[in-house]
Amino acid sequence: MSVQAVAWLAVLVLANLPTLAWAQSASCPGIHVQILNIRNSTGTVDCALFDVPIGFPINDASALLGAPSFAAASLAYDGRNLELTIRLQY
């Protein structure tokens, strides 16, 4: 192999390291969330985790049912793999 070919191979391998690292970490224990029914790719989806009610939003949501309380939105997490699916309803 020429020096140029080896250099290009090194660049390609290094450029893909973040992808390879993510693929390995995706199978690590943790909270994995899949969000369904996203209408388009414009905008962002934000999330936050709270381990205590302090700081949990008590916004004055204008939705029909309002925002859930901390207790209603809580779930048990034991440190193992947890798969969650959220379906957006517009």
> Alpha-carbon distance 86 to 69, whole Å?
17
**85, pLDDT greater than 60:** yes
Query: Would you list the DSSP string of 65-90?
Result: S-PPPHHHH-----SS-EEEEEE---
Positive or negative: CA dihedral 18, 20, 23, 28: negative
Q: What tokens does 35 get?
A: 């969000």
**For 30-81, what is each residue's pLDDT tens digit?**
988 999 999 988 888 888 889 999 988 877 555 566 778 888 888 888 888 9
Angle between helices 3-15 and 17-25 (to 10 degrees): 40
Reported pTM: 0.53
**For 7-23, what is each residue's pLDDT tens digit?**
555 555 566 555 545 55
